[in-house]
Amino acid sequence: MIEAVMMMGGLGIIVGAGLAAASKIFYVYVDPLIEAIEGELPGANCGGCGFAGCSANAAAIAAGKSPPNSCVAAGSDVADAIAVLLGVSVGAKDREISKLGCSYSVQDAETRFLYDGIPDCRAAALFNGGMKVCAIGCLGFGACVNACQFNALAIGPAGLPVVDMDKCTGCGACERVCPKHIIRLSSISMRILHEYTTEDCTTPCQRACPAGIDIPEYIRQISLKNYTQSVQVIKERNPFPTVIGRICPRPCETECRRQLVDEPVAINGLKRFAADYEKQTGQRVLPGKAPASGQKIAVIGGGVEGLSAAYFSARLGHEVTVFEASKALGGLLRSAIARNRLPMDILDWDIQGVLEMGVTAKTGITVGQDVSLPDLFEQGYNGILLASGGWDSRLARGASHRVEQPVPGVFLLIDLMRQESLKANLVTGSPAVIAGGGQLAINAAKKLVDQGVSSIVILFQEDAAALSGELTDLDVPPAIQILYQTGITMIQGNGARLTRIAYDNVVTGQHHELEAGSLILAAGRLPELIVIRSAETGSNGGFQWQAVPPYKRSEIMDQKGLLAPGDVMSDFSGAIRAIAAGRREAASIHQLLYGMPPSFPASLLTPDAVFQNVDHVEDVGSVPRQIMPVSTDNHPDAELESGFSEEMASAEANRCLQCGLICYRKSPS
């Protein structure tokens, strides 16, 4: 008996020791933060967060890959409790829903071969890229529908997925399973920030539009007599539809696929029709806004560019104020266009729409004279956007006799060369930096030497060989240093002083910085700059700030720095291009406010990008284009054209081929 007890006891000791050793060997560490977060989650394991259950979501939240309010089965109290564990707060989230990026189903698209394999999009995509000629088109097997756990997706009558926005939780499950990236999460912010990529189903007219308006969709809405919805689509990318419908140079029509048969669709005339319908009804159409961000932005300049930047910034959830030096908003749209092309009530209607988006405007205030950058930071602005226009804008508002210097220490070369007639001594800081200007920059530098400036650096974007003819036999004083192949990437200051600039070698990308007390730009305009407060310094409460340019348009995305060859050197050649610039500036300052450098996607769609297209169309019958009626009003300021009637707009909208990437609507057989 004693032996048995001892044997059992010994066996227990051995087993216990073995288990203890095993626990050390096979021990799995559980992060207490993950454990605490999982304890707050409801344990539904529904997958609505986009992760495989609550444990996976807890780990993602702890790693910063999922937000505290990602659980769709829990309320705000759970999100707040998780936020406390993370030491953060939960802000209002811009709702994300699934959005389809393809306009033609398999049943309507051309097919290359039949596929009889597993009825799943992912399987079909592995077989020579899928069954459609279109390399990025929807495959139609509904893998996204099967992945949705909330019955928010279904294949519609057109053979494409249809999203039930009331049921969609934005979990992203459909996005992850789609092999063609056709269905993606979308939100107000995402749509504003989005730049077209080679993965998007874009049409020729859409690619040609500087603002990137979804032209086929707004024309489709007109054909359905949904005029208000058409305006909604236009205003996603263009806050001035009534204006642009009258003065746009219409690059979209030059690329319209319809011209392969007869004549381009009257795209701009249809835009005017929809926008005029809104104005005639008096019912303002306002696109959606993201929740308030708590960020304040000041926009310097109340022309079309500045107002567009303010409009898109307000839609991104920011509190925006526009500071305009003249007594009225509108810039060159108000002063330089004939009344019979753009009546002022049309301009005022669109400007009022920008203000109704939540933008505040202060006119008769010149930044740099009536209020300074440090003053604006003192007033609580988190970022400042410079969109003051060019020399022609200054002439139009009668400001050619004075120097405008909204950014401390930064001004135009033309003002330096005219300073005697302006009775101004512009350069107050040394070293002085001159950017661009060729031989004129050398002459200006000599002028600065005569004024007592001891150190001057001239930065040229070009290499020495490109300027050799222009700079031959020039006597350059020792105080002047010339650097070639440079692009200014950042300007830094402290309070009301410029202190430093950064520049890159445009060939090697090598980064440099140098002290600067003044910066003189050889251009007809101050460039677009985003000024962000970086730190508070000194006992007087002065602010350290830095200014960077927004990211560039796709045509010149590889060019670096201020005054790059493709940059605008005076005012924009068309209002639609200024609108596009305003959206890029709003996107750039939005990124900077959240700690991200202004950037664009790697697969950005450019004029040189390789993408599918067609060079002819088949089975499309010829239909004559509607001619815009001429106005019968003989008043000198009466508009030249009267606009389409509803019948004409319907006929013209039905001429649209409703193109996809390579798809288009064929004539009924």
Q: Report CA 297 to chain centroid distance, whole Å.
A: 16
pLDDT band (50, 70, 90) for residue 273 = very high
342 within 8 A of 247, measured Cβ to Cβ: yes
Give the Cα separation of 669 and 662 in Å (integer).
Answer: 20
491 within 8 A of 529, measured Cβ to Cβ: yes
pLDDT band (50, 70, 90) for residue 475 = confident
174 within 8 A of 153, measured Cβ to Cβ: yes
Q: What is the pLDDT of residue 24?
A: 53
pLDDT band (50, 70, 90) for residue 54 = confident
pLDDT above 70 coverage of the chain, percent: 87
Q: Please give the backbone phi and psi of residue 253, each rounded to the nearest 5 degrees, phi first.
A: -70, -30
Q: Each residue of 138-179: pLDDT tens digit?
A: 888 999 999 998 999 999 988 899 999 899 988 889 999 999
Mean pLDDT of the chain: 86
Q: Each residue of 203-215: pLDDT tens digit?
A: 999 999 999 999 9
The CB density around residue 511, as the number of other CB atoms within 10 Å, is: 11
Q: What is the mean pLDDT of residues 395-401?
A: 71
Give the Cα separation of 113 and 127 in Å (integer).
Answer: 10
Q: Each residue of 79-102: pLDDT tens digit?
A: 767 766 665 555 566 788 888 888
Token readout for 392 is 């022609």
Contacts of 325 (CB under 8 A, 6+ apart): 364, 365, 366, 367, 388, 397, 399, 404
Give the Cα separation of 318 and 275 in Å (integer).
Answer: 26
Q: Each residue of 287-311: pLDDT tens digit?
A: 999 999 999 999 999 999 999 999 9
Residue 92: strand, helix, or coil: coil
* Higher-scoring residue by pLDDT: 82, 365: 365
Give the Cα separation of 412 and 404 in Å (integer).
Answer: 9
| Sequence letter at residue 478 | P
Q: What is the pLDDT of residue 626?
A: 97
Q: What is the secondary structure of 42-62 as a DSSP string?
A: ------TTSSSSHHHHHHHHH
578 exposure class (CB count in 10 Å sphere: 0-12, 13-18, 19+):
buried
343 within 8 A of 637, measured Cβ to Cβ: yes
Give the Cα separation of 178 and 62 in Å (integer).
Answer: 27
Q: Each residue of 307-348: pLDDT tens digit?
A: 999 999 999 999 999 999 999 999 989 988 999 999 999 999
437 within 8 A of 445, measured Cβ to Cβ: no
Q: Each residue of 95-133: pLDDT tens digit?
A: 888 888 888 888 777 776 678 888 888 888 888 677 678
